């Protein structure tokens, strides 16, 4: 086993060593900076189910508040769920849940001051928020679908700002 932690490959795959094995990237030499990311996930269901989500009349109870707490909890536990993610000091999490027509959109924004970004935390929060909505509507619509999980934007770090088209 080597003590050299600089395993980044020439092709830029920083989580894969030259021999093909996965490893956790050493971020100790990176500068601590303010970083943020926003991600979204969508649950597609029937319009009548969305109406019940919004008015709180589903059998399992208040969907939006439960999904918001689930998303926040997921953000804080991302490094426990995704093997190569660094545990980060989460400075703030905002969760917006909006329903319209046949869909519920969960948008999660995460902020930190750290050596690495929070895209995975935002994606995990949005995903778990959407899965929580699914769990709470499956009694009335088992055909509901979680879709369009993606990063919308990220700010900070060496690679700078990025926004989806």
**Model confidence pLDDT, tens digit, residues 77-107:** 999 999 888 999 999 999 999 999 999 999 9
Per-residue pLDDT at 36: 97
**Residue 82 included in any domain:** yes
**Residue 144 included in any domain:** yes
**Residue 118 included in any domain:** yes
pTM for the full predicted model: 0.87
Catalytic residue among 26, 96, 102, 135: 135
CATH number of the domain residue 61 falls in: 3.30.70.640
Per-residue pLDDT at 120: 96
Fill in the DSSP letter of residue 141: -
**Residue 133 included in any domain:** yes
Helix, strand, coil shares, percent, the chain, to 5:
30, 30, 40
Task: Identify whether 48 is a catalytic site residue.
Answer: no
How deeply is 103 buried, as exposed, middle or buried, from its count of CB atoms within 10 A (0-12, 13-18, 19+)?
A: middle
**Residue 10 included in any domain:** no
**Residue 66 included in any domain:** yes
Q: How many domains does the chain have?
A: 1
**Residue 164 included in any domain:** no
**Residue 11 included in any domain:** no
CA nearest to 106, candidates 152, 142, 164: 152
Fill in the DSSP letter of residue 116: S
Q: Which domain holds residue 122?
A: 33-157
Give Rg (Cα) of the chain: 18
- Give the three-class secondary structure for 1: coil
* pLDDT block averages, 10 residues each, the chain of length 165: 44 61 73 93 98 94 97 97 92 98 98 92 98 97 98 93 93
Per-residue pLDDT at 149: 98
């Amino acid at each position: 086993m080597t003590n050299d932690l600089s395993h980044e490959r020439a092709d830029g795959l920083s989580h894969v060593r030259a021999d093909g094995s996965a490893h956790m990237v050493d971020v100790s030499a990176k500068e601590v900076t303010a970083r943020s990311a926003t991600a979204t996930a969508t649950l597609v269901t029937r319009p009548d189910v969305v109406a019940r989500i919004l008015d709180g009349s589903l059998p399992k109870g208040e969907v939006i508040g439960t999904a918001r707490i689930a998303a926040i909890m997921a953000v804080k536990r991302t490094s426990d769920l995704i093997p190569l993610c660094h545990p980060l000091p989460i400075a703030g999490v905002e969760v917006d849940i909006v329903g319209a027509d046949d869909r519920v959109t969960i948008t999660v924004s995460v902020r930190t001051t750290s050596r690495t970004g929070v895209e995975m935390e935002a994606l995990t929060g949005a995903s778990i928020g959407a899965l929580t909505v699914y769990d709470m509507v499956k009694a009335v619509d088992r055909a509901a679908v979680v879709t369009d999980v993606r990063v919308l934007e990220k700010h900070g770090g060496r690679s700078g700002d990025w926004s989806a088209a």
